Structure 1
Amino acid sequence: MSTSIAPQQLIRLAQEFDAPLYVYDAATMRRQYHKLENAFKDCNVKIHYAMKALSNINVLKIFKELGAGLDAVSIEEVKIGLMAGYAAEEILYTPNCVSFAEIEACIDLGVKLNIDNISILEQFGNKYGNTVPVCIRVNPHIMAGGHYKISTGHIDSKFGISIHQMRHVERLIKSLNIKVEGIHMHTGSDILDVGVFLNGAEILFDLALGFPDIEYIDFGSGFKVGYKPDDVTTDIDVLGEGLTERYRKFCREYGKDIQIHFEPGKFLVSESGYFLAKVNVIKQTTATVFAGLDAGFNHLMRPTLYDSYHHITNLSNPEGKQRVYTVVGYICETDTFAWDRPLPEVNEGDILCFHNAGAYGFMMASNYNSRTRPAEVLVDGDDYKLIRRRETLDDILATQVL
């Protein structure tokens, strides 16, 4: 799997900023944004970046310059988005299982609100009536694909209001005079079958006909990116063709040209990211050869949490003889990045590169084992800059009361 940043530049960055290190490529982010934008060029489309994937302010500013809005899932994300320069109306706040006090605070900040719970919708209607417009998040009961932990539109998911509860929703809207400006769904990551996504879209289009004042339909995201060489991905162009045709039909039926929204996170930043780690030890056992790194699941959680695959390259010895390694971390747990992975011969001190580490890499990092979190570097053409310094022990102790 090739890198958009030259391997030798990645090594130089690891030497300058030390490892472990997250490196992001701005050009890849822009490429992915334009790819999605072009697929829906014949629609009235608005892209909201799902900032939970990677919320560094420097990254948010890139998407702001491209014309994106933001998808935020917490009041902290909302505030970071405002600090990054987004107008309140460019931010869609989609909470789940938060207190009503947090929802009130976000309404006070002026952002758009997306509600996925009948209880919260009723509380909202009793307080605000039609004075604050709202979007309704629907659970279409669709299994889009991928790991069950990242699928959010199936019948057992905690997200969204069931399509079978729409009659109840309609009663609340009418009795409490709630102004609904949008309908929303998000089936989760790793959409493997464009047809499944289009089935969900059909459900939303049909539901939207029952809401006379909507301004947009939000289809969430879940577009699959390739983690393995030659991996299957969501065919964005085919999806664009199919959804555009159905969108035009809906607009004719609805009587006006509404916006369609998307909320990609992983699709926009995953391929832009590289996680660099140094090999501390090579440990031969009776069963395997371990390559032990100066990092662990405290820095890259996805392989442990989701059994996810990240392609790994040996930047220090790319032409070395192929050998098989189990790549592990230094956390006091079973801390495995990859089992029985063929790699060019790995030596102590080599720099290994984990590809597709831009989404949910740093964001899921922790201080487990009292380890510090790594630095982040942004590469933009010939320029690069540190966008988050490496943590120190003082950072870990800063919130402790001694």
Structure 2
Amino acid sequence: MNQQKKKYNEYLIKLAKKYGTPLYIYDSYKIKKQYQKMVNSFSGIKKLIINYACKANTNLNILKLFHTLGSGLDTVSIQEIEIGLKAGFNPKKIIFTPNCVSIQEIKKAVELGVRINLDNLSILEQFGYHFPNYSIGIRINPHIMAGGNKKISVGHIDSKFGISHYQIPHVKRILKNTGLKVEGFHMHTGSDISDPKYFLEGAKILFQIAIEFPKIDYIDLGSGFKVPYKKEDIKTDLYSLSKIITNEFNNFFQNYINKNFITLIFEPGKFLVSESGYFLVSVNVIKHTTSTVFAGVDSGFNHFIRPMFYDAYHCIENISNPNGCFRLYTVVGYICESDTFGFNRKISEIHEGDILCIKNAGAYCFSMSSNYNSRYRPSEVMLLNGKDFLIRKRETMQDLLKNIIEIPIS
């Protein structure tokens, strides 16, 4: 182990002792680095906006950090919009792209002044009735199957997301009947996509549609960039992808009737925050069965559901004993379900009381947590400018009971 990694692990253990476990830690330096990599990669685009997809991690302080970086915000609920506004985002730098929400929620978004993408013909028609002559974006379903898992593939023909690109004639009829104006087109095909061809295929479909609408302001290509979960993992080659997309976008612009510059938008979430996150857990028990050695920890899928829900791989290291002999362990949680973080993993020898570090914990981890088994949700800490800051307190029994209303039961 190199000296730098050794010092970092010692620092993580120090934080585990200071704040207790289970504990989420986010390194702001890595977030900034990923954001700048995105900006630099697409420097060939004259008007570029990076919107952080805040569903990945909605902690207010994470959003405030992105606001200071100059990011916009991708939101999918009224609550995310309100957190974004509280973090200081201008409403016009927030895009609301809901799915299967009521017209009442969309009306609320109009009141808050944010930009809106609609992905449903029925809602588009209702919206036009209530807000004629309003400018909106349209989310397109490109009928592309892409993504690291069926549950995170959202651009295929049977997906609930987006309006089929074959339904553009219907969209035009609604626009004509209501007076609605289209200011942009949006697309997102899935997550954990490593092959640039899927991004290019989707972009071409969006550009072909956009050419028919002479007054749009933006084209939003969503995201889905794959990040590495293992040392040998492939990831999205951002440099190669940027060259392809920049060339395609500039060709589209040359043929576009309106020569005012169109903004190209990306909406990364996992790419920006996943690798910044570490989840620290303590080992409660080592349990031997006839065929398996379990390391049981003080957490479960109530805090970190991705391995159980998506079969996602997350690297697990024993930072208490990094130089120990490597043995096979199945790392499991304390929930009364089968909650396995990793099966038969080669990890340096684990003892009860050791601290394990689960990596890539910055995205879709705390934000998908729950109180299942009446367990408290954990603390969150941010590393910023050489200091550690508690950015969410660990829950208590008072938090579990605060919304319960007791009634007399006889």
Place the TM-score, normalised by the shorter chain, in its bin.
Answer: over 0.9
* 2:396 alignment partner, one of 392, 397, 400: 392
Query: Which residue of the partner structure matches residue 20 of structure 1?
Result: 22
CA drift at 1:326? 0.5
Letter in 1 for 2:34: Q
Contact 2:116–2:137, Cα closer than 8 Å, also in 1: yes
Q: Say whether the 8 Å CA contact 1:50–1:71 is kept in structure 2.
A: yes
Hey, what does 1:364 align to over in structure 2? 368
2:285 corresponds in structure 1 to 281
1:342 maps to what in 2?
346
Of the candidates 112, 125, 128, which is equivalent to residue 128 of structure 2? 125
Question: What do residues 14-36 of structure 1 show as CA deviations (whole Å, max 9, x unaligned)?
Answer: 00000000000000000000111
Structure 2 CA distance for aligned equivalents of residues 316 and 366 of structure 1: 28
> What is aligned with 2:383?
379
How many angstroms apart in 2 are the aligned matches of 1:8 and 1:361? 23
Q: 1:260 deviation in Å?
A: 0.3
Task: State the one-letter code of the partner of 1:99.
Answer: S
Structure 2: which amino acid aligns with 1:282? I
Query: In the alignment, does 2:263 pair up with 1:259?
Result: yes
- Which ranges in structure 1 are unaligned for 5 or more consecutive residues? none
* Structure 2 contact 50–71 (Cα < 8 Å) conserved: yes
Which residue in the other structure is 2:147 paired with?
Answer: 145
CA distance in 2, matches of 1:79, 1:341: 41
Are the counterparts in 2 of residues 152 and 158 from structure 1 also a CA contact under 8 Å?
yes
Partner of residue 56, structure 1: 59
Q: Is the 8 A contact 1:5 1:25 kept in 2?
A: no
- The correspondence for 1:272, drawn from 270, 276, 280, is 276
Q: From 303, 314, 323, give the equivalent of 2:307.
A: 303
Residues 245-272 of structure 1: CA deviation (Å, up to 9, x unaligned)? 1111111111422110000000000000
Deviating above 2 A after TM superposition, structure 1's stretches of 4 or more consecutive aligned residues are 1-5
Residue 232 of structure 1 pairs with residue 228 of structure 2: no
Q: CA deviation at 1:170?
A: 1.0
Aligned residues: 401
Distance 1:253 1:164 in 2: 22
Counterpart position of 1:213: 215
Does the 8 Å contact 1:22/1:276 carry over to 2?
A: yes
Shift of 1:3: 6.2
Aligned alpha-carbon RMSD (Å): 1.2
Quick one: which amino acid aligns to residue 350 of structure 2? V
Q: Distance in 1 between matches of 2:205 and 2:106?
A: 27
- Equivalent residues in 2 for 1:153-192 (5 A)? 153-192=155-194
Preserved CA contact (<8 Å) 1:186 1:220: yes
Distance 2:194 2:185 in 1: 23
Secondary structure of the 1:261 match is strand
**How many Å apart are 1:5 and its aligned residue?**
8.1
Q: Is the 8 A contact 1:144 1:197 kept in 2?
A: no
State how far apart, in whole Å, the 1-side matches of 2:290 and 2:374 are: 31
Q: Which residue identity is paired with 2:252?
A: F
Q: Deviation digits for residues 295-353 of structure 1, max 9, x if unmatched?
A: 00001000010000000110100000000001000000111111110100000000000
Alpha-carbon deviation of 1:381? 3.5
Structure 1 equivalent of residue 331 of structure 2: 327
Structure-2 separation of matches of 1:358 and 1:140: 29
2:255 is paired with a residue of what secondary structure? helix
SS of 1:141's equivalent? coil
Residue number among 71, 96, 99 corresponding to 2:102 in the alignment? 99
Identity %: 56
Contact 2:147 2:224 in 1 (8 A): no
CA contact (8 A) 1:272 1:357 kept: yes
How far residue 164 of structure 1 moved from its aligned partner, in angstroms, is 1.2
* Matching residue of 1:73: 76
Is 1:4–1:25's contact at 8 Å kept on the other side of the alignment? no
Q: Which amino acid aligns with 1:125?
A: G
Amino acid aligned to 1:197: F
- Secondary structure of 2:381 counterpart: strand
Contact 1:185 1:220 in 2 (8 A): yes
Return the alpha-carbon distance in structure 1 between the equivalents of residues 400 and 5 of structure 2: 33
Q: Any idea what SS the aligned residue of 1:6 has?
A: helix
CA distance in 1, matches of 2:282, 2:386: 25
Displacement, 1:145?
2.6
In 2, Cα distance between the equivalents of 1:160 and 1:4? Answer: 47
Match of 1:88 in 2: 91
Give the Å deviation of 1:276: 0.3
TM-score (norm 1): 0.98
| 1:198 aligned to which of 191, 196, 200 | 200
**Is the 1:310–1:356 Cα contact (8 Å) retained in structure 2?**
yes
* Equivalent residue letter for 2:197: G
Query: Counterparts of 1:172 and 1:369 in 2: how far apart (Å)?
Result: 48
TM-score normalised by L of structure 2? 0.96
Letter in 1 for 2:117: N
- Give the 3-state SS of the residue equivalent to 1:281 in structure 2: strand
